[in-house]
Structure 1
Amino acid sequence: MNGKTKVGIGAAFALVAMTGLTGVDAKKGARSGQDYYAAQFHAPSLNGKVRYLLVNPFGETDGLLLHSGLVVKFPAHMSDQLVDHVRRGESVTVQGRVSHSGQEVKAWSIHNLASGRRLIAEAKPWGDLKPPKHIRYLALTPMIVRGTVAHVLVGKRGEVKTVILDEGVTARLPKHLARPFAAIQPGMTLSLSGRGSTTRVGKGIEVERVTYIEQ
């Protein structure tokens, strides 16, 4: 084996080490990419009016709640683009993959009918690395929010996983706080404490405690 061959093999191993990709990973990536674009081609179009923009606890706008009750999920790293693209009360056409429950759609395209602009979901940029969520969580602001339940998002087992309060407060319940749907329903008044963020379009909170307010 000559020197050039050794250098070439060494560079190849270095590339694998840096990217973490193997031949199997590359094939899986290619298949998933093909499946993704095939799914987009057959994605249904859903129309609705924006009720709230949804903010996660880290202050990223990663979705919409339509007046129909449909939750539109969008990549969190495109938060700024989504906020600039659509506002409350505007009508949109969404294309994406609808969940089995029919509660959510993972959108790849949001067409603002008022402006005529279309926002396309993009893959997360390479090198856009953030600390683990449990580390980021410690830096969030302690907060208490109170309001009337406007919408409830339910998990596979019927447990409440997200509560949206009036005025666009998005509250996410961790597994140990998950409640059955009968325990939290639209119209109830709650006080929620935890950690989260406040933005110009709403608040997002990771709930640590749920208190029911009698009316």
Structure 2
Amino acid sequence: MATSVFSFRATLLAGLMAASALAVAQPAPQPAPPGGPMPPPAGMAGPLPPPPGGPLAPAPMAAASVSGQVARWLVNPNGEADGLLLDNGTQIAFAPHLSADVTALAKVGDRIDATGWRAGDAGALRAQEIRANGRAVTDQPPSPGALPPPPRPLGALASMSAGGRIARVLFNDRGDAHGALLDDGTVVRFPPHVGRMIGGLLQPGAPLYVQGWGTRSPLGTGIEATRLGATQQALQEVLSGPIDPPRPGPRRRPA
């Protein structure tokens, strides 16, 4: 009897040792190799493909300075000057809160010197300082902890329309088309992504018709476009959203 018990225990111990050795010999599960994401299950939509051509990389900014005579002011839809054109064709952009200071510093026909930043030759110079008539206006960042300035009084936006031929395509300091100057002096504005959408229309001398919201001021006429086209019959929506103006103001029939 003792021999049978001993034999049974020996057999059980040998089986346990064999099972343990087999478990140790099994390779550990390996993590999935790095790579692209797993495809979605059947019936589930995957992510949308990127836009054609991929995202646009921002152009590097470089310090620059320009000089010339003020040919005209460039106004935004609120009636403020936020840029100017020199007689040599150079476009200068500045912050709209500097409108009163810059337009008091120089008049059309005065010579100015401006320093700032731009991306390549196509972009506007983003002015940090403008000098004229022995004085200067500098775009200073707010001091740390300073209270924000009080809101500036802005003109009431009105429903407007305009049309004519493009005298000049307007660019921001990154070289993106974001507006057009018509031959009657109207400044048309739109976001850069709209400029890429309608790039075929933005040629000097080409016809451009626009509807949107803007103001007329002593500095000029500015419109934020909501519809654009080569003819009045071909106007297309370029901005989605409510039809009301961006800021409260009296609504008038298109001019």
Q: Give the TM-score normalised by structure 1.
A: 0.64
Cα distance in 2 between the residues matched to 1:201 and 1:195: 17
Write the mapping of 1:29-48 to structure 2, written as runs, cut at 5 A: 43-48=63-68
Output one character per residue of 1:36-57: Cα deviation in whole Å (capped at 9) or x when no partner: xxx9xx9433112222211111
The correspondence for 1:121, drawn from 139, 144, 149, is 139
Give, in angstroms, the shift of residue 157 of structure 1.
10
Structure 1: how far apart are the matches of 2:71 and 2:121? Answer: 20
CA distance in 2 between partners of 1:202 and 1:148 (Å)? 17
How many residue pairs align between the two structures? 167
Deviates further, 60-69 or 168-177: 168-177
Change (3 A) 1:155 1:63: closer
Amino acid at match of 2:206: M
- 1:102–1:90 CA distance, 2 compared to 1 (3 A): same
* 1:141 equivalent among 145, 148, 158: 158
* Range with bigger deviation, 79-88 or 162-171: 162-171
* 1:185 to 2:203 alignment: yes
Gaps of 5+ in 2: 1-60, 233-255
Structure 1 residue ranges, 4+ long, deviating more than 6 angstroms after superposition: 155-159
Residue 179 of structure 2 corresponds to 162
Counterpart position of 1:88: 108
The answer to whether the 8 Å contact 1:70/1:103 transfers is no
CA 1:160–1:45: 2 relative to 1, 3 Å: closer
Shift of 1:79: 1.1
1:53/1:87 contact within 8 Å kept: no
8 Å CA contact 1:95, 1:107 repeated in 2 = yes
| Match status 1:207 vs 2:207 | no
- Give the whole-Å Cα distance in 2 for the aligned partners of 1:156 and 1:75: 12
The question of 1:197 aligning with 2:203 is answered no
Instruction: Give the structure-2-normalised TM-score.
Output: 0.55
Tell me, in whole angstroms, the C-alpha distance in 1 between the residues paired with 2:87 and 2:167. 10
The unaligned stretches of length 5 or more in structure 1 are 1-38
**Whole-Å separation in 2 of the counterparts to 1:147 and 1:44:** 33
Which of the residues 91, 100, 120 maps onto 1:100? 120
The structure whose residues are more often strand, as a share, is 1
| 8 A contact 2:118–2:173 mirrored in 1 | no
Q: Which has the higher helix share?
A: 1
Identity rate of aligned residues, in percent? 31
For 2:167, the equivalent position in structure 1 comes to 150
Structure 1 pair 167–183 and aligned structure 2 pair: CA distance change class (3 A): closer
Alignment partners' CA distance in 1, 2:206 and 2:214: 22
